[in-house]
Structure 1
Amino acid sequence: MLIEVRHNAFDPLAELSRYQETHVPATHVGALAIFVGTMRDYNEGSSVRKMTLEHYPGMTERQLQYIVDEARSLWPFDDALVIHRVGELFPADPIVLVAVWSSHRGTAFDACRHILEALKHRAPFWKKESLEQGGRWVQTNTDGYPPPPGP
């Protein structure tokens, strides 16, 4: 398993391919669930020009490791990759990659979603958005569990 917080831009699919080639036995796993989060150019009704993501070095990585370990205690997956960007970001820049390899798709999907949702709500990251009218700190993350569609 690999957990990294990076200041530099990254290509999620290249990172995924590189990690899988060197760490994940292709014949052992039957499923791979992937989430790639990118920066939007809007939030809370405002146009966002850029965002600065801050973190607490050491503490952030420990919390991410705890989240992955927690997920592994709930679902028996084989491997995971978590890369999160910090620093200055612009619309369409990748922010986060979460990948989970497992024998079965249900485990891969559930563990991947758990890691992402826990990361969004519990990992110590702080976001400051640059808007046309100045800057603002993001107070809450959007909910990743919308209500199911009606009949």
Structure 2
Amino acid sequence: MSIFVAVQSDDFCVASEYDELRRHSACGAVVTFSGLVRELSDNTLHSMTLEHYPGMTEQALIAIAQQAQSRWQLGAVHIIHRVGTLKPNEQIVFVGIASAHRAAAFAACEFIMDYLKNRAPFWKKEHTASGDYWVGAKASDQQALARWE
């Protein structure tokens, strides 16, 4: 299995990542997820800053990809997570899975996103009209993770 992990400030191209995943000839399915910075319900989000520990973060993402590979037969896993200051509707995360079968690709993509939301060492600060706030863990994210444990 091929694992590609990147933590970067630069944007990424979903089409290019998809093309890379398609190169795995034994794969009959490619599933991708691209997450965006979303507006708050009251439309006050100006930007979000993401921080991480270089080196430690990449190792955590590799470990998450390896966990997915141990559960499903996967040909390739690509994880890209952006850091720095991002504005609403900018891309923040990409997860791509190439697998022989779609069920494994869909499941692995969901698994990785649930683990990224809960276990990856990223810290998010929202910059809003009423001030700056660190984003805490959400119960719904923890519930999503619990289904895999």
What is the TM-score with the length of structure 2 in the denominator? 0.87
Q: Does structure 2 conserve the Cα–Cα contact (< 8 Å) formed by 1:79 and 1:101? A: yes
Letter in 2 for 1:34: T
| Identical aligned residues as a percent | 39
- Is the CA contact 1:51–1:127 (under 8 Å) kept in the aligned structure 2? yes
Q: Does 1:65 align with 2:62?
A: yes
Q: Distance in 1 between the 2:10 and 2:66 partners?
A: 26
Name structure 1 gaps, 5 residues minimum.
146-151
Say whether the 8 Å CA contact 2:48–2:126 is kept in structure 1. yes
Shift of 1:16: 2.7
The Cα of 1:41 is off from its aligned counterpart by 1.4
User: Unaligned 5+ residue runs, structure 2?
Assistant: 145-149
Q: In 1, Cα distance between the equivalents of 2:21 and 2:105?
A: 15
Q: How does 1:135-146 map to 2 (within 5 A)?
A: 135-141=132-138, 143=140, 145=144
- 1:38 is matched with which residue? 36
Correspondence 1:19-58 to 2 at 5 A: 19-20=20-21, 24-25=23-24, 27-42=25-40, 47-58=44-55
Aligned residue for 1:78, secondary structure, equals strand
What is the 5 A alignment of 1:37-116?
37-42=35-40, 47-116=44-113
Q: Write the deviation string for residues 29-48 of structure 1: whole angstroms up to 9, x where unpaired.
A: 111111110000116x5621
Residue pair 2:21, 2:76 contacting (<8 A) in 1 also: no
- Partners of 1:15 and 1:76 lie apart in 2 by 20
The letter for the 2-side match of 1:36 is S
Deviation at 1:10, TM superposition (A): 2.0
Confirm or deny: 8 A CA contact 2:68 2:111 kept in the other structure. Answer: yes
> Quick one: which amino acid aligns to residue 137 of structure 1?
W
2:147 alignment partner in structure 1? none
> TM-score with structure 1 length normalisation?
0.86
2:129 aligned residue: 132
